[in-house]
Amino acid sequence: NAGVTQTPKFQVLKTGQSMTLQCAQDMNHEYMSWYRQDPGMGLRLIHYSVGAGITDQGEVPNGYNVSRSTTEDFPLRLLSAAPSQTSVYFCASSYSLADYNEQFFGPGTRLTVL
């Protein structure tokens, strides 16, 4: 099992550019989520999904879109990047939201918006 994979590892964007952060898991997990980590702020939930076709907003969803067309993939889209979106982004998955399962995290994508 590759676990949770994220691409790219690093990305530099200019303000206003768009991009998609990719996330995939091969563990057949129902629940997937995106977090951003900023200094002094910990991990903040952006969006999450409890299964294919179902997504919901987390604590800091503005400026981000997600979709979940398959169980395996949960891409995060930035439609018009802003410097405030400079952060490290982590994707995570777990068996379900309802059960007492830990989340498995990907290695992260470090994004800089100039």
Partner 1 sequence: DQQVKQNSPSLSVQEGRISILNCDYTNSMFDYFLWYKKYPAEGPTFLISISSIKDKNEDGRFTVFLNKSAKHLSLHIVPSQPGDSAVYFCADRHALNFGKGTSLLVTP
**Rg of the chain (C-alpha set):** 13
Cβ neighbours for 39, distance < 8 A, ≥ 6 positions apart: none
Distance of closest approach, residue 43 Cβ to partner 1, in angstroms = 4
In terms of CB distance, is 5 or 17 closer to partner 1? 5
* Rounded distance between C-alpha atoms, residue 83 and residue 44, angstroms: 17
Residues in the chain: 114
Yes or no: say if 89 and 29 are a contact pair by the CB < 8 Å rule. no
In terms of CB distance, is 2 or 40 closer to partner 1? 40
Distance of closest approach, residue 45 Cβ to partner 1, in angstroms = 6
In terms of CB distance, is 14 or 40 closer to partner 1? 40
Name the site residues for partner 1 (rule: CB under 8 A). Answer: 4, 33, 35, 40-45, 48, 58-59, 90, 92, 94, 97, 100, 102-108
